[in-house]
Chains A and B, each alone.
Chain A
Amino acid sequence: MSLLGKSLTRIDALGKVTGETLYPGDINMPDQAYMKILFAGRPHAIIKTIDTSAAEALDAVIAVFLAKDVPVNEYGMMLKDQPVLCGPGSEKPFAERVRFVGDQVAVVVAESVAIAAQACELIQVEFADLPVVSDPLVSMQEDAELLFPDKESNVFIDYHILRGDVEKAFAEADVVVESEYRTPAQEHAFLAPESGLGYIDEDGRVTVAVAGQWAHEEQDAIAHALGLPLDEVRVIHPAIGGAFGGREDMSIQIALALAAWRLQQRGINRPIKIIWSREESIIGHHKRHPYIIRSRWGATKDGDITAADVEVIADGGAYACTSTKVLGNATLMCTGPYDIPNVKVDSYGVYTNNIPSGAFRGFGGPQGAFAAETQMNKLAQELGMDPVELRMRNVAQDDTVMSTNSTLPKGVTLDKVIESCALAAGWNNGIAGWQRSGESAWPPKITGKTKNHIKRGIGFAAAFKNIGFSFGYPERSWAKIELHGETEIEKVVLHHAGSDVGQGAHTVFKQMAAEAAGVPVDKVEMRLADSAGKEDSGSASASRMTFMAGNSIKGAGEAALEKWRNEERPAIAEFTYRPPATTPFAPKTGESNPNFAYGYVAEAVAVEVDVETGHVNILDVICANDVGKAINPQQITGQIEGAVVQASGYTILENFVQQDGIVKTPHLSTYLIPTVLDVPDRVESIILEYPDEVGPWGVRGMAEMPYLPFAPAVIAAVKDAIGVWFDEFPLTPERVLRGLGEI
């Protein structure tokens, strides 16, 4: 009676629907004080002086902290290029510079939220403005204004793939398709803006209770900035109101820790609380990277893709954040999951004075997939070939050598997801190959009168996405399992630091712990979401949590059962799972084994376009996703539907506008996310279960995958409907009308 494959009700459901669950902003501690962070408010400047006297003169102001109060004034997941607080007085070179509007300048602690806000307004900051660099193409130029004067260039990372003879292949190609694609920034717009508490816990640890994705990384960043040993810092994750990558980098964590710690040094031991407004959240944390991707692909007339030459430019914004890895993914995925023998990719991550770019569901994959899949669909058109047939002729398989001069991990199922999706969307594989029959039942026919200005179309796309951290990162996940009882196991206790960001990870942990220990699920207790007493379990990102946590839980369960059989009571075992090693891109050729596992996905989308108003209405989506093993099918379906909704916002509606480094859409009234009326009428989730060789019980990660093919499938559907290719999105009504030549 395995619990795997059962849609166990979410363990957090009751608390969340009744309001009993406490998110960080709901938590209040006795005697707490309130914090506000002063943002730079300008995109590029040197701070000459900061005068806090008027703010500090307010009675109810407890303290104001500046750059000089931060012992090691820097952080950043990949490059420590971001000051905790900008301004003069710290040892970090050029930390007196602000590089985007949301750079943090001062931390105010006061007796009330209102006083803290008033104090922020009284802080006098003298800026000397610098030229604003907002266009990554300008920023790349040699004479560009440098954001970091101690670096030689605003290009902070570059990768190169070179395999085969690209120019020779183009010379021999029958068909060449060339395009320049531009993808937009995107705001995560998670339900709960950043909030949390900073305090000194009962063991004297500097503690923050916040919503994050990776407690141990946050612990590390705080300890580094404060110059403290790791074990003097503690990070607790209460309930988390969504993340999507938007909590992967620091926002309020270091400021909260700094304030609590510095106050204690002054003999004031009070918890500090902050809740960001939606506007602070939109200005204050990173966005999905805007990309410029120039793609040239060649094929023979039989539809054999022979060459791809791609230039990839990512607007990294003001700080690197996770850009180096996001760019790595885009570099890999911009040539798609296809067998292309001759590949050249040159990719660049570039600083600008825009909001920093960072992690967001798909992590460089959606941008790469947009370029790759639109190239595929354009090639299909040029060749007069069905887009599914073209994919099937080039689809990567177990023995396919990819652009990185290596094969994918065994168990490639791209052909399976394409086949399942295509069959459900009315294709069939006949003598002439894959074709779509005109009689297809999909998409559902319109009943009633059709209007002349409404045009319908369908589109198809596929994608692959890595599971877990790539390019040589020392991936690991830790778990501890205790088995209690005498003759039989009466209680299982799982210790794990993995975050449930709202995706249901902890429910799945419970199912997997029960399975690992061979007990019913109600015998499992969990100790979660706190760095204290736990080793690193890694981040809730990269579609890795079920895969990585599952393997750690499985390993700890097996080890604990071994001890149980040896009659240890209680039987307690820890286990750190380490997946097969990966390697980084070789500098010139990009040779590598970039990833240890992948998920595969295909989508068909039906749209209608109003050619007079430019509205694109997404009618129906079929998504076939190989998840390896569905631990909790309801949660899988939820992730597919959620990804489709989020991707439909990205593709159609969400228009994040920055002009000269100033955010023009800092409100949810101007940055439009979909309502229930804007999302597809129907999403059909096809869950395939071809086990992954190293995944726990065969699990593959899946939460990002359905996001990736969505935008290119919609673009193809719109082309089918109105005959226009869009190389840039979101497909706002105005952009569609311009594409149609109506304005």
Chain B
Amino acid sequence: MKPFEHHSPNSLEQAFDLITQDDNNSYYYAGGTDINLQLKSGILAAESLISLKNLSELKGIEYKENNGLKLGALTTLRELQRTKTIYNHYPALSQAAGLMASEQIRSFATLGGNLCNAAPSADLAPPLIALGAIATISSKFGEHKVPIEDFFLGPGETVLEEGEILMQITVPPPNGETLFIKHTPRMFMDISVVCIAIRLLMNNGICNEIRIALGAVAPVPLRAVNAEAELAAQPFSSNNISRAAQIAAEECSPINDIRGTAAYRRRMIEVLVRRGLSSLNENYSKV
């Protein structure tokens, strides 16, 4: 690991200034659980690291029935897992956070970090996409908003431009049932081979809204829009559930890597989407 400078700005302005003053080998970071490994392994050679941990603008969890959830980018995975309002109103998000890494890592790793690291297997992305969450991004030139669905450009790449900071994630008020499923060889403490999140709103047995988001099966976390279309405005049956699951498997573009082949990943998408849809449908049937 090469020596680097380290900054801990106490204001957003200082943080903005630090990155424009430096060359483009400066990096913002939060929990550091990803960047640390990248630095140590030599994947990343930073000249300067800028910790965002002291910035109060990036902190806080706020839930209001009418406005939904506001999550500061510094929210840790542990907070996502254990905050009661999140668990109660956004169970898929809470579950996804709780299934990531270990207790120790979850205490450091942040929501913003997981999204900005932009691993195709980032577990928080599918539930946030399914929930229709929106990212607030700031720079010294102003602020803009991007749906999480459009936040990712490729492995390790996001819409963030030089000098921009992911500030906050807003999640609309709960609307329907949500679910997150992750497939890993090991029961726990393992990176997703594939993962899925679904949000389903049914009215009178008819699918009113459906969002299916897939992780680790494409360069970016993606929505299975064709599968969603298959189910829209219909009652669920084992037939259209199976069809939608197959379509989702066709929509993704997984790769072969050390964790699994593309064919295996596709197959798992089909199984998980089918299981997820069936389970949500059952929940509605019970009501």
Contacts and interface: CB of A to CB of B under 8 A. Distances in A.
Nearest to B267: A743
B264 interface: yes
B271 A678 contact: no
Interface string A268-303: 000000000000000000000000000000000000
Given A672-B190, A675-B187, A743 B258 contact: no
B154 interface: no
A674 B186 contact: yes
B185 A732 contact: yes
Contact of A613 (B186, B188, B268): B268
Contact of A653 (B1, B186, B191): B186
Interface string B199-210: 000000000000
Nearest to B189: A675
Given A613-B268, A613-B271, A743-B267, A734 B261 contact: yes
A669 interface: yes
B185 A675 contact: no
Q: Tell me the dominant secondary structure on chain A's binding face.
A: loop
A734 B186 contact: no
A485 to B, nearest CB: 52
Interface in B211-267: 258-261, 263-264, 266-267
A655 B193 CA distance: 15
A432 interface: no
Contacts of B189: 675
Interface residues of B, number: 21
Interface string B165-208: 00000000000000000010111111101000000000000000
A665 interface: yes
A1 interface: no
A613 B183 contact: yes
Given A657-B258, A665-B258, A672 B188 contact: no
A733 interface: yes
A612 B271 contact: yes
Interface in A715-743: 732-734, 737, 742-743
A674 B189 CA distance: 10
Given A613-B268, A742-B267, A675 B186 contact: yes
B187 A737 contact: no
A737 B259 CA distance: 14
A655 B185 CA distance: 10
Nearest to A738: B264
Contacts of A655: 185
B258 A670 contact: yes
A675 B191 CA distance: 14
A441 interface: no
Interface string A11-42: 00000000000000000000000000000000
B5 to A, nearest CB: 16
Contacts of B271: 612-613
B134 to A, nearest CB: 31
Interface in A603-652: 612-613, 615
A672 B271 CA distance: 23
A743 B264 contact: yes
A8 B10 CA distance: 57
A191 interface: no
Nearest to A666: B41
Contacts of B186: 653, 672, 674-675, 678
B185 A733 contact: yes
Q: Tell me the dominant secondary structure on chain B's binding face.
A: loop
B60 to A, nearest CB: 31
A612 B242 CA distance: 13
A664 interface: yes
Given A664-B258, A670-B258, A743 B188 contact: no
A674 B190 CA distance: 11
A446 interface: no
A677 interface: yes
A713 to B, nearest CB: 20
Given A613-B271, A743-B264, A677 B258 contact: no
A678 B185 CA distance: 10
A572 B43 CA distance: 62
Interface in B263-281: 263-264, 266-268, 271, 275
A304 B53 CA distance: 72
B33 to A, nearest CB: 11
Interface in B1-31: 1
Contacts of A613: 183, 268, 271
Nearest to B1: A117
Contact of A677 (B185, B187, B260, B261): B187
Contacts of B260: 734
Contacts of B264: 733-734, 737, 743
Given A664-B258, A734-B264, A669 B191 contact: yes
Contacts of A742: 267
Contacts of A675: 186-189
B183 A733 contact: yes
B263 A677 contact: no
B263 A743 contact: yes
A734 B193 CA distance: 10
Contacts of A678: 186-188
| Max count, chain B CB within 10 A of own CB: residue among A665, A670, A677, A743 | A743
Nearest to B275: A612
Contacts of B188: 675, 677-678
Nearest to A649: B186
Contacts of B267: 737, 742-743
A669 B267 CA distance: 23
Nearest to B268: A613
Contacts of B187: 675, 677-678
A672 B258 contact: no
A362 to B, nearest CB: 23
A672 B186 CA distance: 7
B192 to A, nearest CB: 12
Nearest to A671: B258
A674 B185 CA distance: 10
Contacts of A733: 183, 185, 193, 264
Contacts of A670: 258-259
A616 to B, nearest CB: 10
A20 B263 CA distance: 51
Contacts of B190: 672
B119 to A, nearest CB: 12
Contacts of A672: 185-186, 190
A613 B271 CA distance: 7
A672 B187 CA distance: 10
Nearest to B262: A743
Nearest to B264: A734
A626 B23 CA distance: 69
B153 to A, nearest CB: 25
Nearest to B101: A669
Contacts of A665: 258
B15 to A, nearest CB: 27
Nearest to A279: B41
A612 B263 CA distance: 14
Contacts of B191: 669
A677 B102 CA distance: 13
Nearest to B271: A612
A612 B274 CA distance: 11
A675 B193 CA distance: 17
Interface string A654-681: 0101000000110001101011011000
A269 B167 CA distance: 55
Contacts of B275: 612
Contacts of B263: 743
18 contacts: A117-B1, A613-B268, A613-B271, A653-B186, A657-B258, A669-B191, A672-B190, A675-B186, A675-B187, A675-B188, A677-B187, A677-B188, A678-B186, A733-B193, A734-B261, A734-B264, A737-B264, A742-B267
| List of 5 A-B pairs having minimum Cβ-Cβ separation, nearest first | A677-B187, A734-B264, A612-B271, A743-B263, A672-B186
Given A670-B258, A737-B267, 6 more contacts: A674-B186, A675-B187, A677-B188, A733-B193, A734-B264, A743-B264
